[in-house]
Amino acid sequence: MTSRSSVEPFALRDVAAFDHECDVLVAGFGCAGAAAAFEAARAGADVLVLERASGAGGSSAQSGGELYLGGGTAIQKACGFDDDPDTMFAYLEAALGPHADTEKLRLYCDGSVEHFEWLRECGVPFNSTFYDKPTWMPMSDDGLMWLGENSWPYNTVARPVPRGHRPAAAGFGGGILMERLAAAALGAGAAAHTDTLATNLVLDDDGRVAGVVARKYGKTVLYRARTAVILTTGGFVDDEEMLADHAPVLLGHGKVSDGLDDGSGIRMAAAVGAATRRMGVVEIALTALPAMVCRGMLVDGLGRRFINEDVYPGHWSVHAVRHQPGPYWTIIDEEGFEDVPEPDRWGLRPRYVTETLAELEASLGMPPGSLETTVETYNRHAEKGEDPYFHKDPKWLRPLRAPFAAIDPRAGFFGGGAGQGGSGVAGFTLGGLRTTVDGEVLNGSGVPVLGLYAAGRAASGMHGEGYVSGTSLGDGTFFGRRAGRAAAGTP
Amino acid sequence: MTSRSSVEPFALRDVAAFDHECDVLVAGFGCAGAAAAFEAARAGADVLVLERASGAGGSSAQSGGELYLGGGTAIQKACGFDDDPDTMFAYLEAALGPHADTEKLRLYCDGSVEHFEWLRECGVPFNSTFYDKPTWMPMSDDGLMWLGENSWPYNTVARPVPRGHRPAAAGFGGGILMERLAAAALGAGAAAHTDTLATNLVLDDDGRVAGVVARKYGKTVLYRARTAVILTTGGFVDDEEMLADHAPVLLGHGKVSDGLDDGSGIRMAAAVGAATRRMGVVEIALTALPAMVCRGMLVDGLGRRFINEDVYPGHWSVHAVRHQPGPYWTIIDEEGFEDVPEPDRWGLRPRYVTETLAELEASLGMPPGSLETTVETYNRHAEKGEDPYFHKDPKWLRPLRAPFAAIDPRAGFFGGGAGQGGSGVAGFTLGGLRTTVDGEVLNGSGVPVLGLYAAGRAASGMHGEGYVSGTSLGDGTFFGRRAGRAAAGTP
């Protein structure tokens, strides 16, 4: 084991002079940092945001931009969907579970319509149009999409309502989201110091967080925070040692991040006794394409189906990588493949095409008869519009007929396909600091570390063991705002 | 969130007087504490062991007593098995993986023969007889057993050699193991204070651990440790809040512990900035019986096999509970059930018996045709002595014929069967403090917390995501000894 950059706290009494002072110091200018800075500044605090990169954005800016929102937003209404906080809560408790944080989730659902309006006030544009097809991310600028609400078993738990809200951008919407949120924070009065990496907390003799030590262009810069420090430094997918210690399932896979999610905020806080929570929970994306998977089937290395293919794609991804023997394959027939709209193919082509399943399973190294048995079983039930194993929506059920094709999800798109030497799997971490609903960081005795707050992926959020898109930007901004208000003394 | 018993450190300068002084203080008198105390005392240190219960033992004393040892022990040789450290390492790296701690594992395998001799010198009795049948724990007093080494895929990774070493006791051998280890520690000169619960560490102004605060009969007792404190306080399966924070998969299940594994040592150390590692890793036992499972098959709630049934039973347990939809069933035919020796039935009886699989799958609420398909596939290959899906040993392969039976693993034995209101699942935690191979506890910067050591389930040991029996008592005693020597200044 190697020793590494020190995250141990500095003592306030050892600091001769600070370079900068503020009321509330925010470390990290992604979505959670922007939201926290906005609210703290709007509450009248003197707010400084440190960002290690040369500008605001963080991993949020490189994301798809989805925000999981509902309860009856203006877009939902405009698109003809009737929603309410309880229905939203029921879905999220199941989809983010088991063991979702129901206290945070309840607040999140109850406050979602207001939060959507806040995003619009910050200048984030949304179109009131609905994208009604399976995808990781529409290439259109539609403002609303499904995120698994219409799939089994979730459609038995809560009335299906789409809640994926998307900034008005074709494809990746994280850029415009962060452009507007950062501008809003600065507009509210927050100042930003870029190229400035927070490295250590400063503690006074009573154990209260009193500032941070930072590095800028190789020099140490000392910041005094009179009221509070808010850590919005992101997760730790980019730190191999933290992954090995806490989430080794992601070792060797692609990273969904801006490359700077090194967990430094989590380590800094733990060094002053902050508790962490669920550090092993991760989100995983297997780079298979929902439009193909729904029309065929996803099978494991033994030729077996293992889930209804119309769930939120992160769910089949986690299920595959966590729970099934690989490699994974999309099995589809010619009719199904031809039915996939060209834009939804993202350039993927079948790797194997055969007239018989016996040939296909042999090509893929599966046990003899395995894929034949799987497809025979699937077809027998699909004839009747049924899927008694996994309950895929009948609209996707149709017997598969020769010729058949197998598509290697690792041949895929973002996150490093096999073609780019990747594993076809990319992910990020969901565990982090243990916080109250107001972002107060708790120590191992369950007591707040005075003067310390956290939000975004530096904190453990609403999630249990499950995940759907939009709940990172969603809880990062929602609980970032709450942390900003609480840190400014106006909860 | 509730605040709870404080684990925050006391400052040495605030302590007016100590009640007791020693060189090395060991908190917890289970197997790791006994091993650490023995070595520290033998090295000449003045050693005090605190134990919250009224006597030594801890969870170790209530365990089966298996020790995973090999490399060519006297028992292995007497039973006719040829072993070496490299073969042992190859198996454990696979069985405790992925992501086993290879540095610890290497030392463990290289030192295993010496460690076995040390156990014998401590007075732990072993018989040189071999138990050659599948089981969780023999009811005989045989000294050697398989722990998964002879099952696929492990038998392709390393030449199969049995390494489950058992103290000479019919059934549970943890009692005699701990009786002898505790006596050896006291015999080497360590003293023990029982009914004494360590609650907080004491830190000097340089951040060095200088003692512990404890509670005895409701009173605070202060201990000065001149050299070091060794935390051997066990895991955290008995603390519901820690489970919710780190290993929620065990919530609602049975606990394999003495009821006192509340993670207090982990929390005390984290409060002084100690790093933790892999807090979500757990071992799980599904209370199905290996002798039955091997002769039939284990299926999930959809009537599907998912593993070769002759693996170490903890492996099918984890696989089921972590990765398959429940409930789980042992499916067996009359011939197979009758073939199970009466002592290996542990009182379990079939819950459903039918002439057809169609009836059976209907009774169990499985999709129509599911169990029929599974058994038809199994039988077709078993006729040829093959299992191309999971590679069960041919000696267990035989087509299953009517009448069929399903046995509910939850009806089972220890850990709370459904009959006792339990879930049929019991487990314990494997995550804990991040330590060097000498037990030094590391902080978040990878630097040792001065004066602080840990071993046993309070620490993260050799394990990756896998487990086999005997590796808890094994690494607890092995690395407990190393910590004891290092803490006494004689590494």
3-state secondary structure string across B182-217: HHHHHHCCCEEECCEEEEEEEECCCCCEEEEEEEEC
Q: Does A153 touch chain B (CB under 8 A)?
A: no
Set of chain B residues whose Cβ sits within 8 Å of the Cβ of A248: 98-99, 278, 464-465
Residue B421 lies in a domain: no
Q: Out of B378, B411, B444, pick the residue that ends a domain.
A: B411
Q: Does B393 touch chain A (CB under 8 A)?
A: no
Nearest by CB: A245 against B3, B278, B322: B278
Beta strands, E only, B73-116: none
Q: Out of B165, B193, B226, pick the residue that ends a domain.
A: B165
Closest of B322, B310, B244 to residue B283, by C-alpha:
B322
Residues A328 and A179 in one domain: no
Residues A297 and A395 in one domain: yes
Q: What is the Cα–Cα distance from B223 to B230, expressed in whole angstroms?
A: 13
Q: Does A374 touch chain B (CB under 8 A)?
A: no
Tell if the CB–CB gap between A277 and B245 is shorter than 8 Å. yes
| Per-residue three-class SS string for A68-128 | ECCCCCHHHHHCCCCCCHHHHHHHHHHHCCCCCCHHHHHHHHHCHHHHHHHHHHCCCCECC
Strands B209-216 and B10-11 turn out to be: unpaired
Tell if the CB–CB gap between A245 and B444 is shorter than 8 Å. no
Residues A293 and A310 in one domain: yes
Confidence of residue B411 (pLDDT cuts 50, 70, 90): low
Tell if the CB–CB gap between A3 and B302 is shorter than 8 Å. no
* A47 Rama class: left (phi>0) / alpha (psi -120 to 50) / beta: beta
Residue A295 lies in a domain: yes
| Range B104-116 average pLDDT | 98
In the predicted model, is pLDDT for residue B490 greater than 80?
Answer: no
Residues B178 and B236 in one domain: yes
pLDDT beneath 70: ranges in chain A: 1-3, 410-422, 491
Residue of B nearest to A281 (CA): B280
Residue of A nearest to B436 (CA): A1
Residues B23 and B96 in one domain: no
The pLDDT of residue A347 is 78
Closest of A365, A357, A350 to residue A411, by C-alpha:
A350
Q: Does B5 touch chain A (CB under 8 A)?
A: yes
Residues A106 and A190 in one domain: no
Other beta carbons within 10 angstroms of residue A326's beta carbon come to 16
Nearest by CB: B445 against A8, A272, A442: A8
Confidence of residue B342 (pLDDT cuts 50, 70, 90): confident
Q: Which residues pair with B67 in a beta bridge?
A: B165
For residue range B269-304, list pLDDT tens digits in order: 999 999 999 999 999 998 888 999 999 999 999 999
Residue A420 lies in a domain: no
Confidence of residue B420 (pLDDT cuts 50, 70, 90): very low
Tell if the CB–CB gap between A271 and B444 is shorter than 8 Å. yes
Window 281-340 of A: residues touching B by CB (8 A cutoff) are 281, 302, 304, 322-324
The pLDDT of residue A438 is 98
Residue B405 lies in a domain: yes
CB A260 within 8 A of CB A196: no
Q: What is the Cα–Cα distance from A9 to B445, expressed in whole angstroms?
A: 11
Tell if the CB–CB gap between B369 and A377 is shorter than 8 Å. yes
Residue B418 lies in a domain: no
Amino acid at B278: R
Q: What is the Cα–Cα distance from B355 to A252, expressed in whole angstroms?
A: 49
Six-digit token string for B66: 């298996």
The pLDDT of residue B419 is 41
In the predicted model, is pLDDT for residue B415 greater than 80?
Answer: no
Residue A4 lies in a domain: no
Residue of B nearest to A433 (CA): B245
Q: In what order do the strands lie in the sheet with B130-131?
A: B67-68, B164-165, B144-145, B130-131
Tell if the CB–CB gap between A434 and B245 is shorter than 8 Å. yes
Q: What is the CATH number of the domain that holds A352?
A: 3.90.700.10
How distant is the Cα of B212 from the closest Cα of chain A, in angstroms?
Answer: 17
Q: What is the Cα–Cα distance from A318 to A335, expressed in whole angstroms?
A: 28
Nearest by CB: B99 against A244, A270, A373: A244
Nearest by CB: A251 against B99, B389, B443: B99
Planar angle of CA A103, A106, A110, nearest 5 degrees:
145
Residues B180 and B223 in one domain: yes
Distances (CA, A) of B265 to A444, B148, B473: 11, 32, 18
Residues B462 and B394 in one domain: no
Residues B271 and B304 in one domain: no
Distances (CA, A) of B145 to A14, B60, B141, B417: 60, 19, 11, 25
The pLDDT of residue B346 is 80
Which positions ≥6 away from A477 have C-beta within 8 Å?
A31, A32, A34, A35, A67, A115, A119, A181
CB B211 within 8 A of CB B222: yes
How distant is the Cα of A183 from the closest Cα of chain B, in angstroms?
Answer: 35
Q: Which residues pair with A277 in a beta bridge?
A: A432
Nearest by CB: B442 against A1, A324, A368: A1
The pLDDT of residue A420 is 42
Q: What is the Cα–Cα distance from A314 to A148, expressed in whole angstroms?
A: 9
Q: Does B423 touch chain A (CB under 8 A)?
A: no
In the predicted model, is pLDDT for residue B416 greater than 60?
Answer: no
How distant is the Cα of B446 from the closest Cα of chain A, in angstroms?
Answer: 4
Residue of A nearest to B282 (CA): A280
Set of chain A residues whose Cβ sits within 8 Å of the Cβ of B369: 377, 380
The pLDDT of residue A417 is 42
Strands B144-145 and B10-11 turn out to be: unpaired
Tell if the CB–CB gap between A271 and B304 is shorter than 8 Å. no
Nearest by CB: A446 against B2, B268, B373: B2
Residue A138 lies in a domain: yes
Residue of A nearest to B307 (CA): A325
Q: What is the Cα–Cα distance from A472 to A253, expressed in whole angstroms?
A: 20
Nearest by CB: B270 against A244, A275, A322: A275
In the predicted model, is pLDDT for residue B184 greater than 80?
Answer: yes
Tell if the CB–CB gap between A273 and B8 is shorter than 8 Å. yes
The pLDDT of residue B418 is 40
Tell if the CB–CB gap between A369 and B389 is shorter than 8 Å. no
Q: Does A2 touch chain B (CB under 8 A)?
A: yes
Set of chain B residues whose Cβ sits within 8 Å of the Cβ of A4: 445-446
Nearest by CB: B446 against A4, A280, A436: A4
Residues A145 and A181 in one domain: no
Q: Does B184 touch chain A (CB under 8 A)?
A: no
Q: What is the Cα–Cα distance from B256 to B368, expressed in whole angstroms?
A: 37
CB A93 within 8 A of CB A158: no
The per-residue DSSP string of B311-348 comes to: S-HHHHHHHHHHHS-S--EEEEEHHHHHHS-GGGGTT-
Q: What is the CATH number of the domain that holds A263?
A: 3.50.50.60
Tell if the CB–CB gap between A6 and B445 is shorter than 8 Å. yes
Domain that holds residue A369: 288-411
Window 35-94 of A: residues touching B by CB (8 A cutoff) are none
CA distance between the termini of chain A = 42
Tell if the CB–CB gap between B244 and A273 is shorter than 8 Å. no
Set of chain B residues whose Cβ sits within 8 Å of the Cβ of A323: 322-324
The pLDDT of residue B413 is 54
For residue range A92-145, list pLDDT tens digits in order: 999 999 999 999 999 999 999 999 999 999 999 999 999 999 999 998 999 999
The pLDDT of residue B395 is 96
Average pLDDT for chain B: 94
Window 9-38 of B: residues touching A by CB (8 A cutoff) are none
Residues B53 and B190 in one domain: yes
| Range B203-232 average pLDDT | 97
Q: What is the Cα–Cα distance from B402 to B385, expressed in whole angstroms?
A: 19
Residues B197 and B270 in one domain: yes
Q: What is the Cα–Cα distance from A436 to A315, expressed in whole angstroms?
A: 27
A346 vs B440: which has the higher pLDDT:
B440
Q: Out of A354, A378, A411, pick the residue that ends a domain.
A: A411
Q: Does A358 touch chain B (CB under 8 A)?
A: no
Q: Which of A279, A376, A377 to substitute to test the interface with B, most B CBs within 10 Å? A: A279
The pLDDT of residue A422 is 59
Set of chain B residues whose Cβ sits within 8 Å of the Cβ of A249: 465
Residue B141 lies in a domain: yes
> Helix or strand or coil: residue A364?
coil
The pLDDT of residue B351 is 79
Tell if the CB–CB gap between A277 and B246 is shorter than 8 Å. yes
ipTM score of the complex? Answer: 0.91
The pLDDT of residue A170 is 87
Tell if the CB–CB gap between A445 and B323 is shorter than 8 Å. no
Q: In what order do the strands lie in the sheet with A329-333?
A: A297-299, A329-333, A404-407, A352-354
CB B225 within 8 A of CB B198: no
In the predicted model, is pLDDT for residue B189 greater than 90?
Answer: yes
The count of structural domains within chain A is 3
Set of chain A residues whose Cβ sits within 8 Å of the Cβ of B99: 244, 248, 251
> Helix or strand or coil: residue B193?
strand
